[in-house]
């Protein structure tokens, strides 16, 4: 194998790994690669973006066979002719060639899908082995795979695991040293086979993978290889390949890629007939199956969704945002920690400006850490638990199927419901999960909608508390305005932004009772991720606000914005400060409006207008920084330039309409 340096790792890890073999984990999405990666690497993990992309690559060190290996968890892939940025990154890592072995992780109950990847890895002539994960689910479905026969046919190690229970992981690790190339090949139509023979001699002889799969990628019209082609082929060779591509396109008007895929499927089906059979399934209880069917139903699914949202409100809104936050923020931070730290800082540090930096109104401890740990952490922690329950039960894919038709009108697939739902916990965190969308267009639309109109749970709790005092009509006005605005923004974005829409392919796993151990592992991992990724952004945001306050710019901004708030929105001047604070912390902005509401400074129309604006208001500074990290500063500035005046325009329109209608009605 080639020893070229893999470019997608953390610099420190890359330096260390020059003395170690690299192990790649590849496979379809949602087959348990990350769980296996976690068990192999434990705490030795770093995360960094693959160069030139927003796709994160996890790397970590593991001891395998008495030697140190660097393990790389690649994004999920369905084909090595990429349909998304994630798939392209996985393909590019294999093309880089700097690895000692590949572990393909597959879902045992979806063997056909896994074997399509296996066939392509075999054609690449890379040393690999197969891990058929989720053996327990396969057995429950009555599926039996002859692992020994599959291993013998392919000529490589094949093991079965249940990653969530750590079953078979040690066997998998022990078999890594036996990774080997496979002689399994596919018979393509004669014209394609002839074209492969013509293209192969034009390709470099020192490729880290076989020339045959690269020739197939080119013949399939893989445009993501354009940079590689320009770097490795001469102009006359490019011309000859284009002639061959045109010849095949005339023979196969529906596309050469389709013909190649069908040939591979025929080869997979022949192998499936030898090693795969379905027996009597061990079914889940009948009532649980019925609930699973109803959850994906276009009609009955919505009452189930309302029940799910109510349960989420009880766990996240009442227990997390209420009980836990009241104790952690009120009793621990404000009642004990912050006074102690204030006294300590004032006793040790004589300079008032430095004191304010740590324990002032916009202090590192009194604001940034109090907010990130005492307010947000209990909320996102309980949300992580609830989200883990939804994942482990198999409900989330059913929700995506149910709402797919609605999201399609906004240029999105049903998968968008996952980051949108996660945004109700923390929009900053949910912005990172927009990576699960398959195209850049979809990731951009989801990021925009999250920034525009998805309130975090803490903010939502304050909003619902104020709406409760105005009655059900106000709730309907607020919800209808926000939902309609999101739909309109999504619909317009899908027509303005360039790019293709992805196909919606969502596997429906069996509905089941969640395992507490699985939920615990996922929750702990996500909390670590939150502390690592989000907390630094809250600290940076607080620092920016501290600097603005120290320079007197906060007062200037408030003075400039007051005419807009009073004139267009019809709100009192004091509401300006709530919106300004809302830029740093959306829930504190809502809390500022709540204080005005309780003091009688807002009438019903002003209250409703203020709540709509604070919901649609420009993203908080932590979310803005996350958008810059994920989408780039240009996209972040364009989104902000759209959201800010758009939110004010919607608020001004609502103020006018409600005044004309004479609401609230007697």
pLDDT in tens, 253-310: 888 888 999 999 999 999 999 999 877 545 556 777 777 778 878 788 888 888 887 7
Q: Is the pLDDT of residue 94 over 70?
A: yes
pLDDT at 471 over 50: yes
Domains and CATH numbers, the chain: 11-178 (3.40.50.300), 190-272 (1.10.287.1770)
Q: With the CA atoms of 317, 318, 322 and 323 taken in that order, what torsion angle do they form, in degrees rounded to the nearest 10? A: -140
Instruction: Out of 119-128, 231-240, 413-422, 535-544, give the one with best mean pLDDT.
Output: 119-128
Task: Quote the crossing angle between the two packed helices 211-219 and 235-251, to the nearest 10°.
Answer: 60
Within a 10 A sphere around the Cβ of 503, how many other Cβ atoms? 8
Question: What is the per-residue DSSP string for 200-255?
Answer: GGGS-TT-SS-HHHHHHHHHTT-GGGHHHHHHH--HHHHHHHHHHHHHHHHH-TT-
Confidence (pLDDT) at 457: 64
Q: What percent of the chain has pLDDT over 70?
A: 90
Residue 168 CA to residue 131 CA, distance in Å, equals 9
Q: Check whether the bond before 620 is cis (ω within 30° of 0).
A: no
SS3 letters across 595-646? HHHHCCCCCHHHHHHHHHHHHHCCCCHHHHHHHHHHHCHHHHHHHHHHHHHH
pLDDT tens per residue, range 376-424: 788 778 877 887 888 778 787 788 778 887 888 888 888 787 788 777 7
pLDDT score of 362: 80
Model pLDDT for residues 551-598, shown as the tens digit of each residue? 988 788 778 877 888 888 999 887 887 787 777 667 667 777 877 887
Say how many residues make up the chain: 666
Helix (H, G, I), strand (E, B) or coil at 67: strand
d(CA 265, CA 578): 59
Question: What's the pTM value of the predicted model, to 2 decimals?
Answer: 0.61
Instruction: Report residue 115's pLDDT band, with 50, 70 and 90 as the boundaries.
Output: very high
Nearest to 57 by CA among 6, 5, 15: 6
- 3-class secondary structure, 193: helix
């Amino acid at each position: 194998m080639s020893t070229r340096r893999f470019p997608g790792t953390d610099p420190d890890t890359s330096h260390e790994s020059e003395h170690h073999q690299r192990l790649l984990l590849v496979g379809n999405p949602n087959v348990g690669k990350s769980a296996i990666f976690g068990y192999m690497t434990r705490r030795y993990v770093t995360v960094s973006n693959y160069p030139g992309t927003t796709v994160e690559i996890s790397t970590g060190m593991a001891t395998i066979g008495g030697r140190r290996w660097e393990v790389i968890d690649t994004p999920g892939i369905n084909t090595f002719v990429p349909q998304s940025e994630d798939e392209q990154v996985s393909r590019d890592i294999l093309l880089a060639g700097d690895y000692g072995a590949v572990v393909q992780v597959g879902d045992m109950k979806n063997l056909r899908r896994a074997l399509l990847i296996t066939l392509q890895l075999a054609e690449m002539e890379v040393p690999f082995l197969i891990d058929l994960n989720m053996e327990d689910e396969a057995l429950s479905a009555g599926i039996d795979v002859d692992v020994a026969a599959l291993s013998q046919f392919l000529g490589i190690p094949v093991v079965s695991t249940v990653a969530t229970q750590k079953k078979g992981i040690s066997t998998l690790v022990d078999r890594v040293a036996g990774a080997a190339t496979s002689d399994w090949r596919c018979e393509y139509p004669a014209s394609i086979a002839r074209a492969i023979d013509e293209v192969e001699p034009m390709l470099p002889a020192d490729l880290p993978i076989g020339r045959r799969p690269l020739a197939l990628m080119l013949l399939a019209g893989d445009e993501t290889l354009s940079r590689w082609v320009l770097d490795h082929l001469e102009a006359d060779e490019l011309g000859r390949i284009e002639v061959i591509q045109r010849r095949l396109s005339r023979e196969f008007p529906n596309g050469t890629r389709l013909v190649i895929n069908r040939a591979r499927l025929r080869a997979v089906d022949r192998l499936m007939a030898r090693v795969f059979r379905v027996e009597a399934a061990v079914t889940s209880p009948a009532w649980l199956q019925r609930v699973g069917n109803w959850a994906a139903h276009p009609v009955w699914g919505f009452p189930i969704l309302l029940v799910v949202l109510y349960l989420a409100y009880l766990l996240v809104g009442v227990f997390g945002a209420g009980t836990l936050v009241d104790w952690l923020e009120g009793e621990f931070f404000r009642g004990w920690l912050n006074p102690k730290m204030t006294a300590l800082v004032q006793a040790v540090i004589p300079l008032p400006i430095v004191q304010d930096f740590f324990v002032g109104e916009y202090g590192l401890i009194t604001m940034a850490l109090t907010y990130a740990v005492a307010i947000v952490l209990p909320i996102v922690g309980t949300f992580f638990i609830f989200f883990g329950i939804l994942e482990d039960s198999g409900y989330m894919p059913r929700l995506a199927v149910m709402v797919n038709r609605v999201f399609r009108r906004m240029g999105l697939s049903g998968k968008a419901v996952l980051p949108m739902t996660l945004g109700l916990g923390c929009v900053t965190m949910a912005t990172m999960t927009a990576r699960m969308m398959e195209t850049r267009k979809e990731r951009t639309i989801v990021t925009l909608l999250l920034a525009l109109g998805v309130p975090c749970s803490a903010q939502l709790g304050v909003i619902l508390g104020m709406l409760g005092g105005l009655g059900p009509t106000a709730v309907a006005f607020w919800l209808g305005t926000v939902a309609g605005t999101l739909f309109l923004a999504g619909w317009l974005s899908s027509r303005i932004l360039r790019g293709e829409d992805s196909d919606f392919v969502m596997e429906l796993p069996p509905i089941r009772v969640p395992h507490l151990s699985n939920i615990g592992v996922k929750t702990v991992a996500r909390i670590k991720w939150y502390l690592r990724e989000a907390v630094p952004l809250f600290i940076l945001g607080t620092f920016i606000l501290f600097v603005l306050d120290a320079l007197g710019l906060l007062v200037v901004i408030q003075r400039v914005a007051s005419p807009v708030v009073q004139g267009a929105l019809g709100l009192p001047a004091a509401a300006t400060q709530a919106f300004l604070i809302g830029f740093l912390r959306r829930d504190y902005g809502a809390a500022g409006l709540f204080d005005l509401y309780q003091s009688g400074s807002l009438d019903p129309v002003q209250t409703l207008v203020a709540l709509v604006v604070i919901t649609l208001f420009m993203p908080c500074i932590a979310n803005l920084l996350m958008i810059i990290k994920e989408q780039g500063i240009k996209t972040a500035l364009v989104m902000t330039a759209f959201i800010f005046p758009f939110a004010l325009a919607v608020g001004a329109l609502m103020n006018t309409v409600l005044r004309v209608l004479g609401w609230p009605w007697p």
